[in-house]
Structure 1
Amino acid sequence: MNGAQHILDAFHRHSIDTVFGYPGGCIMPLYDALVDDVVVEHVLCRHEQGCALAADGYARASGKTGVCIATSGPGATNLITGVANAHRDSIPMLVITGQVPSGLIGTDAFQETDVLGMTLGIVKHSYLVTDADEIPDVMEEAIQLANSGRPGPVWIDVPKDVLLQQVTASADQTTRPSAAHCPDLTQAIQMLRDARRPLLYSGGGVSLAHCEQPFRRFATTSAMPAVVTLKGIGNAGKHNPDNLGMLGMHGSLAANRAVDECDLLLVVGARLDDRATGKLDEFAPNARMIHIDADSAELNKLRPADVCLRGPLDQILEGLTRAIESHPLAIDDWRKQCRQWRTTGGFSAADNEEPLSAITGPAFTRQLSRIAPDDAVIACDVGQHQMWVAQHYEFDHPRHHLTSGGLGTMGFGLPAAIGAQFANRNSTVINVTGDGSFMMNAQELATIRRYRLPLKIIVLDNQCLGMVRQQQELFYDNRESQIDLDDNPDFVAMARAFDIPALHIERTDQIRRGIETILAFDGPMLLHVAIAREENVWPIVKPGSGNREMIDESQQTTRKTREQVA
């Protein structure tokens, strides 16, 4: 077999049966090998960025390795944003690109770019394969690296002539033994027993480690009040009465208050991101901290922990669970206090009952949460709609919530939803997007049509870049700059041009009918939802401020009234 065929052989060995790509000159030998392959399904997206983001969504929804393929030069550079997105959110991904023939590297040949140099900071590891006999071992090592420890993207750049060379070597299929061992839990257990106001703070590391069940057993056994990061939404399930929701810039008042008043913070698979912590020296000021993470680089990175636990998350959680089962925590008063805060400071506002009133983002999202099936996968883009989903949609599993956390990539949602639909062929997959984000990868409507995907698309349209406009209103003296999108196309007509039926709604009494219609339709469908331009996400913390300085809608209304009087 030649180098290209050995790449497909590695896919077969690792049960990789779905890849996302776009062909071109230097990757053509791999596409030629795909002609005869009956195992691997290649999904042709309409832009290389769409390929990378679809592979990302596939990996998030399935827990498997996402794979994207492109040619050299602009094909490779178009992948970069999607690969960076996967890197920031620790998504296992294999990236394969063609490169100009070996003899032309370094000569500024047609469609040559230094892929390894450009991508150094956005991958776990990268390879430039110089001999076809390297391919079997490189493929084995790359797939293991992408999934081991803290997952992430691994990039393999292969010159065209190497793809065509015959391979005489075979792969070393020895599984590298894990060096991870469960650390000593004695001090952490004692800290939990001594605490009177402990708080469980979890992030995306729970699902990345496939530890949803051990985490839920620990959460139930400990009965600790809990908060989650954006990527940790769904960790506790939708029926946990001690879950206070998301913390941080757009977190609930209950979650941020609990962090402010806890005396022990147990951090599980989270990196203390600035959007979650706010001003770091004001974050959890009264708390000692236990930090559990697979990546030693995250421990003590932003805030020193009293105890750091690096090792297999399932073993650590099971050890803590057993200790608490034999000696329950004495936190009844704290639990009651946090449940009271959840009642008064959560995201349970009543929906607008006026049938002819304009649609609000929170009211729409709550109805979507009630109507959609429990196993529906929601892929968001970035902006106000993303925060409304995080606040108001009740997720039963973290893999049901696909969102660009670390990088905040507009245009993520549609291709990610495509990837999720290939990962879950019979599940309901919904892309919730804004008018700004939707236009960034709208070409992938053609991918939906090509593969007849039953994907549902909901565009919340306020004809502006809503999150930017909101921050300009609140923090830049309402000086609006380059946020108007009032020249948007007719999204209903646009969808229909791709043979995707579409509906438009603009009143509260149309919400239920609109949602039920698209969910019941046997095939892809788009729902265009008009919302008010001036609608904001509440609450909000000014960037760089402490989370205790949350601004809610009533405070902003009072401020505006005072300014008008003055």
Structure 2
Amino acid sequence: MSQELTGAQIMCEALIREGVEVMFGIPGGAIMPFYFAMWEYRDRLRHVLCRHEQGAGHAAEGYARSTGRIGVCIGTSGPGVTNLVTPVADAMMDSTPLLAICGQVGSHVLGKDAFQETDITGITMPITKHNYLVKNASELAYVFKEAIYIATTGRPGPVLIDITKDAMQKSCVPNWDRKLDLPGYKPTYQPNRKQLREALKLLRQARKPLIIAGNGVIMAGAHAELRHFAERLRLPVITTLHGIGAFPEEHPLSLGMPGMHGWVHCNRAIQECDVLFNIGGRFDDRVTGKASTFAPNAKVIHVDIDPSEIGKNVKVDVPIVADARMALQALLDELPVKEELADLHAHASDWMEYIRELQDKHQGKQQYINRAAVQNMALPPHDVYAALNRHIAERGNIIVVTDVGQHQMWAAQLLDWNAGPRSHITSGGAATMGFSVPAALGVAIAHPDKTVWVVCGDGGFQMTNQEMATIIQEGIKNIKVAVINNGYLGMVRQWQELFENKRYSGTPLSGPNFAKLAEAYYWKGMTVEHTNQVQAAIEEAQATNGPVLIDFRVEREVNVFPMVPQNASIGDMITENSGA
């Protein structure tokens, strides 16, 4: 306990004490002392050498999102840490527990525009829960302990530690026993009982009640409690993009996804409900559409661990600041006996029957279901998802990581999400193209017993595909990549088609032969151009003992519907066939 250690050794010891096992990063000048010390700890700290710091950050996000544990990424000063800004921002938007460790120039030249000096704490202040500039080795033991606590508690998020090179090189006896002292940071976990009772009163009086479940349910590990609560009250459940996995879609109370590319019946249900119970969602604009027109008839109950989210976008009648799991447990404890809920059950049954009628009316019009709409296409993208869906249902034990764009929305709509929480990993709030391949790297390391299927577009894939080399170097064999290749930046092209008179400015996209590129990286590569080839390719990829890429060359100009236009109400959706 009294051993003198360098600052860099303290960093390694601190990470081990906090349960960290894997880190993703790239060395460089200012961070070199940390890498020098890391050699002594290589049996306890696995370092994954990525090909770009953005890839390292997304890999750490994938690791964190799939496990609930802290993800750690590393960059050196200057361009190394600025390359981490995108994944840090992504983690902030999606409430992902992330620790970014940054090397900084020596403290004696700080502020003097030294070689590769960048004020990363200033840059990242708006996109981190907290950040630190550490100039003394004696501060490191406590700072790492505090940083990881902040990143993983309350509403999770990214924390950045910027450490000068001399702080890593100097030695001291670390104080491991210093207790956390954060008087201004005390997350509220337990709900207010009076507010809970008011929420239950509204729900019991409701004739058209509705639950929206968001990412907070998954973060809190509250999926079992959500299911019990919905079943006890017989309430229909909508899951947001990041709430996918919080409630099984095969459940008779499950409705699907709302919002800009949600289903018509989900959005209509929101617009017609009289009590809306939002747990763990932040009323993002992609869910609400024009906020002033959102759920106009509803009394709104909002459960969120972050008080700043309550009332920020949508007026709330019953605010409940709490952890989602603890709030649901408390609500279950407050529920009356079944007989006293008879009236609510009767109304909920009629309400659900009405929503299913809406679903039958609108969802069946979609080209995803109506084969006549796509009969002249060599490879409709939806056929890829249908085959992948069958494969997932038959095999199980699969995590799906998606990138950002049309393919992401099709995956959310067309795959049956019944595998539980943390089986769907995507970039939501920041919508970061290039997220999927490096994120899958982190997921695959965390879950070597599962197959990780990546669904990405040709645009996002070309932003970070260099991490395919990292996957090979690390000996990872459980990643399979499906590129939905339409030769466009597809979502932007869709907007240009629908709202900009088909002025395809900057959206036609060229690329290499992806199958040959995969082979150049020592992956197995395949190209699929027709529907009758899809299922066999997926099965071959699964059977291959190693990473595989399938280039699905799909019909180029297919759109994601339904769709809510910009600044429109979610009640005003457009579909393939009409403005219904």
The whole-number CA distance in structure 2 between the counterparts of 1:466 and 1:412 is 16
Deviation per CA, 1:267-306: give whole Å up to 9, x if none: 0011111111101111111101000000000011112210
1:318 aligns with 2:329: yes
Alignment of 1:497-508 (within 5 A): 497-508=520-531
Which SS does the other structure have where 1:26 is aligned?
A: coil
The whole-number CA distance in structure 1 between the counterparts of 2:14 and 2:398 is 32
1:40 aligns with 2:45: yes
1:74–1:404 CA distance, 2 compared to 1 (3 A)? same
Amino acid aligned to 1:275: R
Aligned match for 1:336, one of 346, 350, 353: 353
* Structure 2 equivalent of residue 266 of structure 1: 277
The answer (yes or no) to whether the contact 1:356–1:509 under 8 Å persists in 2 is no
The answer (yes or no) to whether the contact 1:356–1:508 under 8 Å persists in 2 is no
The whole-number CA distance in structure 2 between the counterparts of 1:470 and 1:316 is 41
Aligned match for 2:159, one of 146, 149, 154: 154
Which SS does the other structure have where 2:255 is aligned?
A: strand
The whole-number CA distance in structure 1 between the counterparts of 2:205 and 2:403 is 42
C-alpha displacement of 1:174: 3.9
Identical aligned residues as a percent: 42
1:363 aligns with 2:383: yes
Aligned match for 2:496, one of 467, 472, 475: 472
The whole-number CA distance in structure 1 between the counterparts of 2:60 and 2:303 is 28
1:20 aligns with 2:13: no
Deviation per CA, 1:233-281: give whole Å up to 9, x if none: 1211132122111101100011011101100100001111111110111
The answer (yes or no) to whether the contact 2:74–2:100 under 8 Å persists in 1 is yes
Aligned match for 1:513, one of 516, 536, 555: 536
- Aligned CA RMSD, in angstroms, stands at 1.8
Structure 1 stretch displaced more, 391-400 or 165-174? 165-174
Structure 1 stretch displaced more, 63-72 or 355-364? 355-364
* Structure 2 equivalent of residue 85 of structure 1: 90
The whole-number CA distance in structure 2 between the counterparts of 1:459 and 1:133 is 49
Which SS does the other structure have where 1:458 is aligned?
A: strand
Which SS does the other structure have where 1:555 is aligned?
A: coil
The whole-number CA distance in structure 2 between the counterparts of 1:253 and 1:148 is 36
Which SS does the other structure have where 1:113 is aligned?
A: coil
The answer (yes or no) to whether the contact 1:136–1:172 under 8 Å persists in 2 is no
C-alpha displacement of 1:359: 1.8
Alignment of 1:129-278 (within 5 A): 129-172=134-177, 174=179, 179-184=188-193, 185-278=196-289
* Structure 2 equivalent of residue 391 of structure 1: 413
Deviation per CA, 1:406-456: give whole Å up to 9, x if none: 001000000001110011011010111000000000111101111121210
C-alpha displacement of 1:175: 6.2
Deviation per CA, 1:31-73: give whole Å up to 9, x if none: 0111111101001110000000000011001111000011000
Aligned match for 1:350, one of 353, 360, 369: 369
Which SS does the other structure have where 2:261 is aligned?
A: coil
Amino acid aligned to 1:113: T
* Structure 1 equivalent of residue 402 of structure 2: 380
The whole-number CA distance in structure 1 between the counterparts of 2:512 and 2:570 is 38
Amino acid aligned to 2:516: A
Deviation per CA, 1:470-492: give whole Å up to 9, x if none: 0001011111101011x310001
Which SS does the other structure have where 1:439 is aligned?
A: helix
Count of residue pairs brought into register by the alignment: 556
Alignment of 1:33-112 (within 5 A): 33-37=37-41, 38-112=43-117
In structure 1, list runs of 5 or more residues that go unmatched.
Answer: 559-566
Which SS does the other structure have where 2:212 is aligned?
A: strand
* Structure 2 equivalent of residue 29 of structure 1: 33
Aligned match for 2:127, one of 122, 129, 136: 122
Q: TM-score, normalised by structure 1?
A: 0.95
The whole-number CA distance in structure 2 between the counterparts of 1:511 and 1:54 is 28
Amino acid aligned to 2:119: D
C-alpha displacement of 1:515: 1.1
C-alpha displacement of 1:116: 0.7
* Structure 1 equivalent of residue 555 of structure 2: 532
Aligned match for 1:8, one of 6, 9, 12: 12
The whole-number CA distance in structure 2 between the counterparts of 1:475 and 1:228 is 28
The whole-number CA distance in structure 2 between the counterparts of 1:217 and 1:186 is 18
The answer (yes or no) to whether the contact 1:231–1:398 under 8 Å persists in 2 is no
The answer (yes or no) to whether the contact 1:374–1:395 under 8 Å persists in 2 is no
The whole-number CA distance in structure 1 between the counterparts of 2:203 and 2:254 is 18
Amino acid aligned to 2:192: P
The answer (yes or no) to whether the contact 2:493–2:507 under 8 Å persists in 1 is yes
The answer (yes or no) to whether the contact 2:190–2:327 under 8 Å persists in 1 is no
1:428 aligns with 2:451: yes
Deviation per CA, 1:149-184: give whole Å up to 9, x if none: 000000000000100111223124646786533212
The answer (yes or no) to whether the contact 1:356–1:507 under 8 Å persists in 2 is no
Structure 1 stretch displaced more, 335-344 or 181-190? 335-344
Deviation per CA, 1:474-526: give whole Å up to 9, x if none: 011111101011x3100011000011011111111111111111111111001
In structure 2, list runs of 5 or more residues that go unmatched.
Answer: none
* Structure 2 equivalent of residue 401 of structure 1: 424
Deviation per CA, 1:517-547: give whole Å up to 9, x if none: 1111111001110111111101111111111
The whole-number CA distance in structure 2 between the counterparts of 1:525 and 1:50 is 19
Which SS does the other structure have where 2:84 is aligned?
A: helix
